[in-house]
Amino acid sequence: MSKKPILTLLCILSTLFVFSQRPEADTFKTKKGDLTIQPILHGTLVMQFNGKIIYVDPYGGASAFTGMAKPDLILITDIHGDHLNEDTLDALEIKNTPIIVPQAVADKMSEKYQNQLHILANDDHKKLFGIDIKALPMYNLPESDDAKHVKGRGNGYLLVMGKKKVYISGDTAGIEEMRNLQHVDIAFVCMNLPYTMDVQEASSAVLDFKPGIVYPYHYRGNPDMSDTEVFKTLVNEGNPEIEVRLRNWYPDYN
């Protein structure tokens, strides 16, 4: 028997397995068509808007992106390997794809990617493919020079797509810049110790800036995963109008 049909079958089975593990995508109506958001892994997500595909912190190797269209735009928040992961970048089809990064990430990236980089400092703006992109601070509290995330090194991002505001926290505590956000439609908020913040701090910050929908993500820490059900309870006890969407950000793609 020819090896080609066997390889084709294995490829199909592998794709079906990944699809069965991956959470379903969510679709939102905007003034410029649908915005689709697909959770991938940990702090990684894929968005589709106005015919463009956006990868955020691509991580997990090529298998994590099985069946996904190649990216037109990539956002990277920080230097740590679950955000800047060149093994994953190398495995993806991203030649000439613009990559939005803070300076610290640019400094660590290989020469082969340098011509693709658009460097944003905290509070800088960029518009690509009709998407308004603002880089926001992300850092630990209390601030210190030896913190895992110091102010100014990494970027959270605020994206405006068809008048929908999407906030991606990156690795951060419940900082003032997050708490002061206004009119956010969709938020992705981290919560894992010792790298970011606990469930109580995350829920407190969310109750301050009142997004319409919030996804807890990047919630696996030590010694176990953060309790997203407790997060949901705390948020909805404080403000039942905030929709908390719980998804499995840790599927087994192997």
Give the integer Cα–Cα distance in Å for 201 and 131: 30
Task: Tell me the residue type at 165.
Answer: K
What are the respective helix, strand and coil percentages of the chain, to the nearest 5?
A: 25, 30, 45
Give the integer Cα–Cα distance in Å for 83 and 40: 13
SS (H, E, C) 30-69: EECEEEEEEEEECCEEEEEECCEEEEECCCCCHHHHCCCC
Beta bridge partners of 111: none
Give the integer Cα–Cα distance in Å for 49 and 37: 9
Q: Could you tell me the mean pLDDT of each successive run of 10 residues in the chain, 254 residues long?
A: 46 41 94 96 97 97 96 98 98 97 98 98 97 98 95 98 97 98 98 93 98 97 80 98 97 78
Q: Output the pLDDT for position 6.
A: 44
Classify burial at 175, counting beta carbons within 10 Å of its beta carbon; exposed 0-12, middle 13-18, buried 19 or more: buried
Q: pTM of the entire structure?
A: 0.91
Give the integer Cα–Cα distance in Å for 127 and 132: 5
Q: Output the pLDDT for position 221.
A: 72
For the chain, the domains span: 24-244
Cβ atoms within 10 A of the Cβ of 123, count? Answer: 11
Report DSSP letters for 104-115, one per residue: HHHHHS-GGGGG
**For the structural domain made of 24-244, what CATH number should be given?**
3.60.15.10
Q: Output the pLDDT for position 7.
A: 37
Dihedral sign from CA coordinates of 195, 200, 202, 208: negative
